[in-house]
Structures are given as C-alpha cells and as structure tokens.
Structure 1
Amino acid sequence: MEENKQESLREAARDGDLGRVKSLIASGADVTYFDGEGLTPLMHAARNGYPEVVKMLLDSGAPWNALSPSNLSAGDFAMENGHQSAFDILLNAGIQAELILGTIARKDNADGKPNRDYLEDRVTFSEDKVMDTKSKAVMMAWERPLMEAHAKAICSRGGHILNVGFGMGLVDTAIQQYAPVSHTIIEAHPEVYDRMLRTGWGEKENVKIVFGRWQDVLSQLESYDGIFFDTYGEYYEDMREFHQYLPRLLKPGGIYSFFNGLCGATDG
C-alpha cells in the first residue's frame, strides 16, 4: 500500500498534477522516495518542467541535492531539458540551504581549530605529480597549461604578485616568466616548503616565501596587483573566508584568480 502511494506521487509529479501531489503528500507519501529508475518525485517534476510541483515538493522536504544513479540532481534534469523556471526554484533552494548550513558550520567552528590533517601528512614528489599518503593528487603536471593561463591573467598589470599554495610550483614558475616586482608565495606544508628551499626558490631576488597557513600569516601580507589561490586540504568555507580578505589584499584594479578541486561531479 505504501509503495503504491509513493508510485502515485511519482506519477503525479511526473505529470505535473499539483492537486494530486498536494493530496498525496498530505496523506503521508514520502517525498524522498527513489523509484525503480533511481529518481525522486522532485527529479521527475524538474525533468518535465513543473515549477509549482517542484516548489511544493521542496516545501514538503524533498532534498534538492539528491542524486540519480548517473549523478544528476533535480537541477541538472531541469537545466538539461530547458526548464528555466524549475531550475531557478531549485537553485534558490540550494543557495538558501548552503547559506544556512554555512552559518551553522561557522558557528560550530568558532573555536578556530583548523583541519590540519593534510599539513601533518607525508607527501611524495615525482616528476609529474605530488601525492598524499592516501594516493590522492595534491598537484599534477596536466595542470600546467591552466596554471600558465592563471599566471598570465594575474600578472597582466605587472607589479606585486601573491600566490597561496606552492604545490609543484607550476603557477609560480609561470609567474616568474613575467618578472614581477615582487612575488610572494605562501606555503603551509613543511615538506613542500623544504623542497622549495632545496630547489632554490628562497634564493630568487624577487621571491618572498611565507611559511604557514594563510590564516595565520595575514599580518605579514601587503597589497598586491595579482593574487592566485590554490590550496589543498581545504574546503568551501576556507576559500570563502579568504575571499573576505580580498578587498584588503588586492589593489584597486588588481586581478584575482583561483583553482580548486571542490566540484562534486566531473561530467558536463
């Protein structure tokens, strides 16, 4: 009986029958139900472009970020099929949820204890990559063209440049080609820092190396014409926090760019 109720909700959502959706939810139908295709009622409504049904399901607790077997969310289904109104509702729901969760997370982390797992971890270096102890790539050589493009952008004004996160030194090598007046590099991992010194980065005339987490060395920083941010072992909140300091760190008209591996999917 319960399964029939869930299937009825799926069908009503798929067909855009708002009244029936409302009635089924009131009778206890589960808005989080996944059908045989691995889709939720919200995904069906989004895929077929029924914004009012999408809103009703969201207001009733349907998860906006649930994923299908092919790693698509309701928002992906709406966008793929050109249903902008349904997509906008889902986007706003996601933004609202992230703002609330972010506020909670910042409150929970108010004691200021950082996540230092990566900094206490060993890393291994080879010609084309830096790996952590879990065999996850800290940086790889295929990133070189991307780093060169970032360097070109942030060095377009010349002047003083800041890079947060050395890694393999790809972006810093590219930055040096533009001969900035000064080139400040923040690196927090002790082994990466030691390797920087062994390979001569500390001897370059225009290079200043600042060892430590960027959060701990802000008082040592000045203002810059170009800034690049590419840390490892940090999350959205860390980057968000760094962005709060950009008005002070970046000169008027300066250029900021960043790179990260935070995206939850690689398709598209």
Structure 2
Amino acid sequence: MAAAPERESKESKSPEELLCAAAESGDEEAVVRLLAEGADATHFDSAGLTPLMHAAGGGHSSIARLLLEAGAPWNALSPSGLCAGDITSDPTTYDLLLDHALRSELLLSTVARRQAPAANASEGAPAENYLESRVSFSEERVMDAESKAVMMAWERPLMEAHARAVCPGSGYKVLNIGFGMGLVDEAIQRYEPEEHTIVEAHPDVYARMLKLGWGEKKNVRIVFGRWQDVMPQLGSYDGIFFDTYGEYYEDMREFHQHLPKLLKPGGIYSYFNGLCGDNAFFHSVYCQLVALELANLGYSTQFIPLPVKDCLAADVWEGVKQKYWQLDTYYLPVCQSESESE
C-alpha cells in the first residue's frame, strides 16, 4: 500500500526543514521532539529564514523560548536585513527576544572586557586609525578618508535637541566630547553657558575649529586630545554631551565610568544615540543595554522619540560609503542621577 503523500513529504524533508515548518505552524510538540533528535536551531532555510524567525512571525512565544534555549541566534538576519525581533508583531514574543538579547549582550560585554587587554595589544584601535587619517569638510558633511561620514548636516535638529537637554538654562557649565561639524556646540552657545568645554582629538577638526574662531570665544575652552588622555584636565559640569567618531561601544562604556566625577548632582548627560542605527530591533536592544549599565552607575535614562524621516531625503547619502542611520525615529537619551531624576 502506498504511503500517504503527507508522510512521503515529511520523510523527504530534513530535520531542520521540519523544524522550520513546526515553528511556523506553532506545533510545539514537534519542535520539542525535533530539537531532542538533534535538529539544528541555527539553520537557515531556502528563504534565508531561521526557525526562530518563523516562530516570531507567527507570534509563537513558547516555541521561540525553546529555540533560544537550544542556541538559536537572536541576531541572525534574513536576506532583507531583518532579525526575529523585527519580524514579530506579538508583544510577548518581542519582550522575550529583547530580554534574551539583553542578557546575551551583557554576558558578551563581560567577556569582551576581560579579553580587551590582549586584543588591544595585538590590534590597532579604530579611534587611533581615524585620528591619523585626513578628513574633508563641506557645508553638508565631514568625511573621513574612506568616504564614511563623521557628521552630517541632517543631524542639526538632533544636535539642537541634545543641546536643549543638557543646557536647561544660562549660567551652566557644559562639556562636549567631539566637535565634528560643531552643530551641537553652535546650539549650546545659544544658551549662553558660563563655561563651554569642548574636547576634540582630530588634528584637522581642531585646526578648523581655530580657523572658525572657536578659540576666541570668551566662554569656550578647547581641550585638544583624546578624552581618555585629557581627563585630568576636566572639571565637573552641569551638562555633558558625548559624540565621538571611530570608537567602539566599549569606549562609551568606559566614558560612563567617569560620569560620577564629571557630572554635578542634578546634571544632565546625553549622547548621540547612533548604536545600530540601521536595524530597529538591534537599536532597541542597545538603548536598553545602555540604560541598564547607566542604572548600575546610579543614573536613570529617558528616551525622547524624535521623528527624523523628513530629514533623510534620498540625496542625503550620495557619496557616503555607509548609511549610519536608516530608522524613522531617533530616541534622544536624557540621563540624570536617580536621586535627582524626578
């Protein structure tokens, strides 16, 4: 007697194909059995999707949990650049993926910090490579030697919002790490701070600052050098903004360790929130990751949503090697000591 067509179809499929099908349909029993039999939870099917993506797309949170426990990568990307967190529309599944991603990244960050000395000894730091290269200036952008944008004019409304956050009134002392095009510093000046300290490490940018007259402003103090090297020259401030180029997330984390000394009680800290600006879920993960790590230092963080779609016309990225921002909303971070946050 001939086997049923459905049975023949299943027997012709690999365990991974069956796992994808079970994850998509929500067949939890089949998923448990297939994983126990050794089906690979990291598999990509012919459409470039993983079992976790299929489960997320169907909103099957319990199956997503099983797959994550079996080693399914939360950050795997489909051919269209989406991860499971981007695909799901189910709040429970989204929260599950976000929690898992945060736990994973916190663990990886701990490992990275332990391995950092050995890695730094054998590899050139990206910041040092950038500081040794030439940069070019125009009305619309500052570019590095590889045609990557250091800063662009479309960021102006964001920089004005950052300045407003760290300058709640006149008579304040403000610190900015990273001049770039000077967009945030121009905005800070409009609040008439008592003291405006700017740390800039790139020699070309520093020379341009002087040419533009920033060294002659009565309330401006320019400190030339890497913030890591000039820290002893800095004081304490009512507002701090951090926006460097050519550094890793680890560098910003290191800067955060200095906040208790740099930021006065009641002061406001903000940073350019460009982490993973080309993927919405990854960006959410890093927003929460930074907020958690700042909370461990005693700071609360609020994210103010700012629509930026209208700032990014089609021609904005012409001649730029990498689109460092592709999302419709920018989440401006406002950080303050938890005892003062109310």
Q: 1:139 to 1:2 in 2, by over 3 A?
A: farther
Tell me the TM-score normalized by structure 1: 0.93
Whether 1:33 and 2:46 are equivalent positions in the alignment is: no
Partner of 1:247: 260
Match of 1:107 among 103, 106, 114: 114
Moved more, 202-211 or 254-263: 254-263
Q: Which amino acid aligns with 1:109?
A: A
Partner of 1:92: 99
SS across alignment from 1:106: helix
Partner of 2:77: 67
Q: 1:171 to 1:257 in 2, by over 3 A?
A: same
Cα distance between partner residues in 2 of 1:89 and 1:177: 44
Displacement of 1:85 in angstroms is: 1.9
Cα distance between partner residues in 2 of 1:194 and 1:2: 68
Q: 1:231 to 1:239 in 2, by over 3 A?
A: same
Match of 1:229 among 232, 237, 242: 242
Tell me the TM-score normalized by structure 2: 0.73
Whether 1:184 and 2:197 are equivalent positions in the alignment is: yes
Displacement of 1:3 in angstroms is: 4.6
SS across alignment from 1:262: coil
SS across alignment from 2:238: strand
Moved more, 128-137 or 239-248: 239-248
- Contact (CA 8 Å) 1:161, 1:183: kept in 2 or not? yes
Whether 1:214 and 2:216 are equivalent positions in the alignment is: no
Partner of 1:154: 166
SS across alignment from 1:109: helix
Cα distance between partner residues in 1 of 2:83 and 2:273: 22
Aligned residues: 265
Q: 1:150 to 1:267 in 2, by over 3 A?
A: closer
SS across alignment from 1:222: coil
Displacement of 1:243 in angstroms is: 1.8
SS across alignment from 2:43: coil
Displacement of 1:110 in angstroms is: 2.8
Match of 1:200 among 213, 235, 240: 213
Match of 1:262 among 270, 275, 280: 275
- Contact (CA 8 Å) 1:231, 1:260: kept in 2 or not? no
Q: Which amino acid aligns with 2:159?
A: M
Over the residues paired in the alignment, what is the CA RMSD in angstroms?
1.7
Moved more, 56-65 or 69-78: 69-78
Cα distance between partner residues in 1 of 2:226 and 2:160: 24
Cα distance between partner residues in 1 of 2:44 and 2:247: 33
Cα distance between partner residues in 1 of 2:206 and 2:41: 51
Cα deviations by residue, 1:12-48 (Å, 9 ceiling, x for unpaired) = 1112222211211122222112223321111111121
- Contact (CA 8 Å) 2:173, 2:194: kept in 1 or not? yes
SS across alignment from 1:31: coil
Partner of 2:59: 49
Cα distance between partner residues in 2 of 1:239 and 1:3: 48
Displacement of 1:267 in angstroms is: 4.0
Partner of 1:9: 19
Cα distance between partner residues in 2 of 1:48 and 1:242: 41
Partner of 2:318: none
Displacement of 1:224 in angstroms is: 0.7
Moved more, 228-237 or 26-35: 26-35
Cα distance between partner residues in 2 of 1:124 and 1:215: 25
Displacement of 1:247 in angstroms is: 2.1
Cα deviations by residue, 1:84-111 (Å, 9 ceiling, x for unpaired) = 2222221121111111211121112136
Identical columns (%): 62
- Contact (CA 8 Å) 2:238, 2:267: kept in 1 or not? yes
Cα distance between partner residues in 1 of 2:19 and 2:216: 68
Displacement of 1:2 in angstroms is: 8.1
